[in-house]
Structure 1
Amino acid sequence: MGAVVGSEVFSVPPADVLLAAFAAYLLGSVAFGLIIARAMNLGDPTKIGSGNIGTTNVLRTGSKAAAVLTLLLDSGKGAAAVAIGTYFAGGTGALVCGLAAFVGHLYPIWRRFRGGKGVATFLGVLLAVAFPIGAAVCAIWLLVAAIFRFSSLASLSSAVLSVPCLWALGQTQAIPFVALMTVLICWSHRGNIKRLLDGTESRIDLQSAQSQSKIDQ
């Protein structure tokens, strides 16, 4: 989609932004991991592993296909929220709706505000807001994961480095929104951070569909 942030955003009626953000939050709240696992008769991911609805915990059901679908749909709803915001409320709408979908994934109303850790949705938002930056952040995730084999470290690194990437490419209007998402990602990974510091964090198991990693996206 490319950069969607522009100077026209300040003329958008606040009501339009709020309505678009509410729709984006509801979209973000859709628990695709749970829906896919049940549709494929894989059981309830909330009953296994960490009980999370994200990609990694869906992988624990034993289906790589289900995990990939979850990843695509969770990132897709972030990108879709940006598109909704852009259509109805311009550049501000894009950023606000991207943030709203991200918050919806972390704190879904349908599941008593217990959701995933937001990394896939975060990446989807970045790819839609500024594709080169989103692609760079995805590359950071892959590089860190390949070298250190910690999904949590890859997620934290890519989130933290997203802000300098935005600044370097002049997307300064997006920085407050992305910085807030980064803080929320760090908060959602607080248990993982403790295990990384303690040396007890599980590594990514590339050979098993039922990875026992304790990281959820």
Structure 2
Amino acid sequence: MKFFVLLIIAYLLGSIPSGVWIGKFFFKKDLRQFGSGNTGTTNTFRVLGKKAGIAVLLMDILKGTLATCLPLLFTLDVNPLVFGVAAVLGHTFPIFANFKGGKAVATSAGMILAYNPAFFVYSALIFIIMLYITSMVSLSSMISAVLITLSTIILPFAIPAILPHFDWLLTSIALVLTIFIFIRHKDNIERIKDGTESRVPFGLGARKKNKTND
């Protein structure tokens, strides 16, 4: 009984629509009606600005972290990733926002943070490097998801200090989330192909674009 109650709590935590609530309360804007229509961090930065974007990023990460910590807080002998996945599902299909949510990246990061902080730092560095190279959040998210999934297999044997043992559930979840992230970014993929995808104003990709425009 405790398992199912905590699972529901994890989903509800993930369902908190940070971007929607911050947009409506502080800016009188519904994120779903602006930009890409997505309620996640990237569209928040684009529509509401840096402060709101950082706030949503931190809140979305925290949702995944808190949900993943539930079995530890309530002494339940279950792999914490199960509850992290529930939060990710809540973030992507939030009951508080008509089941239209984000793209699962930030909340997934929060799940990894609670599961293994060292692996979280490693994963964050991969994303930052990819973002610097591509200057595109969407492309960086997809490439990072693939590399992180491969890392769950390689690191336990190559660098056990980061990931001490192979966890088949972690690898399975990473693989499923990678596929899901690609599906959720299908519109971004089309824009990347067309050369119209939005870029952040820094990194090699941004410099290349600026030189082309010049």
TM over 0.5: yes
TM-score, with length taken from structure 2: 0.83
Superposed displacement of residue 42, structure 1: 4.9
Supply the distance in 1 between the matched residues of 2:19 and 2:77 (Cα, whole angstroms): 30
* Higher normalized contact order (CA 8 Å, seq sep 6+, divided by chain length): 1
In structure 2, what is the Cα distance between the partners aligned to 1:120 and 1:19?
24
Which residue does 1:200 correspond to in 2? 196
Calculate percent identity across the aligned residue pairs.
35
Moved over 4 A (4+): none
Aligned residue-pair number: 191
Match of 1:172 in 2: 167
Unpaired segments ≥5 residues, structure 2:
157-164, 203-214
Question: Which of 50, 56, 59 is equivalent to 1:70?
Answer: 56
CA 1:178 to 1:91, structure 2 compared with 1: closer, same or farther past 3 Å?
farther
Q: Provide, for residues 78-118 of structure 1, a one-character-per-residue CA deviation record: whole Å limited to 9, x for no partner.
A: 000001133332342x1111000001111111222110111
Deviation larger for 107-116 or 97-106: 107-116
**Cα offset for 1:27?**
0.6
Equivalent position to 2:96, from 110, 113, 124: 110
Larger radius of gyration: 2
Q: Deviations over 1:137-195 (max 9, x none)?
A: 11111111111101111111111112222222223232112222222111111111222
Q: Normalising by the residue count of structure 1, what TM-score does the alignment of the two structures yield?
A: 0.82
Q: Secondary structure at the match of 1:60?
A: helix
Q: 5+ unaligned residues in a row in structure 1: which ranges?
A: 1-14, 207-217
- Which residue of structure 1 aligns with residue 131 of structure 2? 145
In the other structure, the counterpart of 2:26 is: 40
Calculate the aligned-residue CA RMSD, in Å: 1.6
How far residue 17 of structure 1 moved from its aligned partner, in angstroms, is: 2.7
Deviation at 1:62, TM superposition (A): 3.8
Q: Which amino acid aligns with 2:166?
A: Q
